[in-house]
Structures are given as C-alpha cells and as structure tokens.
Amino acid sequence: MPNRKKLIEAVKSLFIVLLLISALILGNKTDLFSHFLSSSAVIAGVADFAKLIGGGQPAPGDAALGGDYSPAAMPRFIMMNSQNGLSYCIKYNRELLADTYRQFSVELGEALGSSGEPVMVPMREWEAALVGPGVFFDFLYEQPLDVLSGWLGMYIDSAAKDHTARYICLARDGDNLDLYYIREKDHAAYKCDTALSYGSISSKLESYSLDNSSFAFEFSEDYDLLDPYFIILNQLPEVYELTAGNPLYAGIDEEGLLGLLNINSIVAIPYTEPDGTKVYVDGDVTLRVYPSGIAVFRQSGEEGLKIGTSNSASSSEVVEKAYSIAAESIGKYCGAAEPCFTGITYNAETEIFTITFDYSLNGLPIKRTDGLHALEMQVKNGIVTNLSLNYREYGFTGSILSPSPLPEKQAAVLVQAKGGGEPLLVYEDSGSSVSVSWLIN
C-alpha cells in the first residue's frame, strides 16, 4: 500500500511537470507571458526550449549563414575574354569587382588547388593566354599563392606554393583550363596544368559580351614604355569624391584594442603625455595611441603577441594574423574604405617578416602623402615585435568627382611621354583632404 501511494504521488509530480511544460508552450504561442518569460534568464532559457519543441522561431544567433572569401584577397582589376575576342574589364567599382570575383573565385581556388608543377613559359605564350579566352586577375600587389589559395579554401601541393604573383590568368588550352602567372621573384611567366576543363568557366565568360578594354602590350609601339599589363579602358567609370577624418576624435574601443594585442588592461594602466598621447605599458610591451590617429605597438620580450604556439611562423600565418588585427582594429573605423593586403617581405638576415596593409575604396588604392601604411607589422620568430596602425575614416560626399580624372588613354600617353611605367589611379590622402590623381607606379 505505501508503495502504491508513492507511485501515485510520483505520477502526480510527473503530471505537474508535464502540465507546466504544456502551459509554457501554449503561453509562448499566445505571447501572453512573453514579457514575464524574458525577464528571467532561467525562465527565458526554458521558454526558448519550449519554442523549439513548439516549432516556433529559432533563438537569435542560431542562424549563421555561409560565409564569403576574405576581402583581403580580392583582385583590383578583372578582365574577361570571351571566345568572340571581346575583352571586358572591371575596374574602380568595388561592388562589381566583388560580384565578378565571386563568380570566378571557386574556379580560381580549384585551379590553384589542382595545379601541377609550374613550368616557365615564354612571355609570348603568357601574352597569348591574356588575350585568349579566359579570365585575368590583377591583385595590384604580390600575393603569396599559398596564402591566396588558403583564402579560397584550398591547399597547393606543387612548387607554386612558394611563389608569389600579382598577375594570374585562367586561360583556355583546348578543352582544358590552365593557370598562368608572373612570378615576382624572377618576373618570369609560369604555367600550371589544372584538373579543370574550360567548360567550367565558358558559360560565365559568354555572359560578358562587351568589349571595353585592351592591354597596353596590344598597342605594340604606341605604349612600349608602359607596363605591358596596364589595362586601358575605353571609357573611365565615374569616380566619387571622398571625405577623410580621424576616428580617434569620436573615440575607439581601447579596451578591445588592448585585448586584441594581448595587453592586460588591468595591469597596463594608461598614462597620458602632455601632447595627448595615451601610453600603455605591460612588461616588455608598449602601446602608444597618438591623437593623430596612429597607434604604435612595440614588444621587446618573448611573451605577449604571438602567432601560433611555436617559435616560428609561416608567411601564411603572418598574413592571416595581420589581417585579423587589421579587421578588428582599423577595419572597424575606416568607414566606406577597407584595409587590403599590400605586401609581405622577409629579410633572411634578420629573420624578420614585414607585412603591410593599405586602405582601398571602390577598387582604388588610397595613398597617404606621408607614406604611412594603414597597418605595418614586423614579426620575428613568431612574435609580433612592431606594429603600427593608422586609423582613418573615409566616406563618400555623394558627388561624382568634378572635373573627372584623365581618361586612361590620355594617362597612358602622358606616362609614355614621361619615360614609361604603370599609370595607377589612386586617391591621395594629404591628411586634410582627399584628391584623385594618376601616379606612375
């Protein structure tokens, strides 16, 4: 008998729990108790559980949709050549560049990932590839191919992984698609077989059935002093006016910056110098945040801001670290611009990597007249020894630049007359204003 009573009481308890859950589910469906349910974290958690059972909307943060490639890896100029011999180039339009790159980035990744051993080829073969059916990418700055392929989700097995290239081309070879590039080190052209067929990009190429550009080398002697791979557009697109400012006036998240640089914000109490510079010291690490918008980090010890866990770092790891720092610091305050990877060098004697990022807006590089980079970082033995961050905020005024810059053909003629080089259309930031000019790169 006592056992029977116990069983009945146990069933009653279970029934109470079920009725409570049922009431929560029904209450959630009526929204009668939504305010009450959300006022307590515990009850809100139970309510979310009830929502899931009741088939309601997923809790915020559940939906994280698929990502995109890293903008640090995006080419500045893309030219598509169709089978009909039409050449369509996209320049100076970030949105179009991003959309077009999105169309071909998977194939570029597949080509890099499946590339065979690179073979040096004559320049005339490289130039034939550029004007034949295919797609040409100009990243404006040398890209380590292993880093670029990593950004595209691939891994290079061949010797190409140790090469860097600014110009890359996917070109038709019969039914196949070959990978060509100019290697920075020896300025020679290389070709790799890939596992791709031309059919993987042919239908996309045919949708670009406009002709708006040519390479400088296609004009033979007219532009023989110009960079041969400067692309001359028939018509310059609109270029917009910019404003520039120092985001430090409005304040930045200094605690976030300290965390990003592995500086202990409790230990590193700041002091302010007479000129307004804030200085944080944490052992061997110093961070100075100048009122001009520059932050300088120095580390002399072996602890602090490390890359990975070993005492060395590969170029890919260094680039990735710099990119993550750029994205989480200057990248949050640059307005309409974005920090882009612009170079990495390695000094074998000092064993130091130097890596730079610069601002870019709408496909145009932004050059500071004082020569400062948006980010410049030095890494030795896997430790970040020096880092400078140049905070700048850029925005559009809404107006098209007037007068508009020289058309590309005229710029090409001027550069040819001045002795040659590569004409480069840039925004120039003097600190107080931003203008557009043609530089000789």
Partner 1 sequence: MDKAKIKNFIIIILLLVNMFLLAIVLMDINEAKAAGKQAELSVISILDQNGIRLDESVDISTDTPGTYVLRRDLDEEKKLVRKILGRTYIEDMGGNIYYYRSETGQASYRGTGEFDYLLDAGEILMGNDAVRTAKKILSKMGVNPAMNNDFVEVSEINGSTSVVLTCSWNGSYVFDNKVSFLFSNDSLILISGRRVFDSQISSGDPSLDALTILMRFLDLVKTEGHVSSVISGLTPGYVMNVTSSSVSELMPVWRIETDSGVYFLDGITGEAVANTIN
Q: Which residues bind partner 1 (CB under 8 A)?
A: 9, 12-13, 15-16, 19-20, 22-23, 26-27, 29-30, 32, 57-58, 62-69, 105-107, 109-115, 152-157, 194-196, 200, 207
Phi, psi of 371 (to 5 degrees): 80, 0
DSSP per residue, 349-401: TTTEEEEEEEEEETTEEEEETT---SEEEEEETTEEEEEEEE--EEEEEEEE-
Q: For residue 338, what is the enclosing H or E element? A: strand 338-347
Torsion-angle region of 87 (φ positive above 0: left; ψ -120 to 50: alpha; else: beta): beta
Cis bond before residue 403 (omega within 30° of 0): yes
- The DSSP result for 161-183, as a single string, is GG-EEEEEEEEEETTEEEEEEEE
Q: Which is nearer to partner 1, 137 or 215 (CB)?
A: 137
Q: Which is nearer to partner 1, 16 or 400 (CB)?
A: 16
Q: Rounded CA gap, 367 and 146, in Å?
A: 27
Distance between CA atoms of residues 12 and 272, nearest Å: 68
Nearer to partner 1, 23 or 400 (CB): 23
- In the complex, what is the shortest distance from the CB of residue 331 to partner 1, in angstroms, rounded to a whole number? 21
Shortest spacing between CB 267 and partner 1, in angstroms: 39
CB of 200 to partner 1, least distance (A): 7
Rg value, the chain, Cα: 28
What is the closest distance, in whole angstroms, from the C-beta atom of residue 148 to partner 1 in the complex? Answer: 13
Q: Which residues of 268-277 are buried (b: 16+ CB within 10 A; e: fewer)?
A: beeeeeeeeb
Residue closer to partner 1, measured from CB, 122 or 153: 153
* Residue number with CB closer to partner 1 (67 or 274): 67
Give the nearest distance from C-beta 96 to partner 1 in angstroms.
15
CA atoms of 213 and 38, how far apart (whole Å) = 59
Nearer to partner 1, 106 or 268 (CB): 106
Question: Of 106 and 188, which CB lies nearer to partner 1 in the complex structure?
Answer: 106
CB-wise, 159 or 281, nearer to partner 1? Answer: 159
230 close to 215: Cβ distance less than 8 angstroms: yes
Helix residue ranges, H only, 71-198: 94-113, 123-131, 145-151
CA of 275: how far to CAs of 47, 165, 391, 397, in Å?
54, 43, 18, 32
CB of residue 365 to partner 1, shortest distance in Å:
26
Alpha-carbon span 239 to 438, nearest angstrom: 13
From the CB of 27, what's the least distance to partner 1, in Å?
6
Shortest approach of partner 1 to residue 117 CB, angstroms?
Answer: 12
Crossing angle for the helix pair 94-113 and 199-206, nearest 10 degrees? 170
192 or 387, CB closer to partner 1?
Answer: 192
**Least distance (Å) from partner 1 to the CB of residue 106?**
5
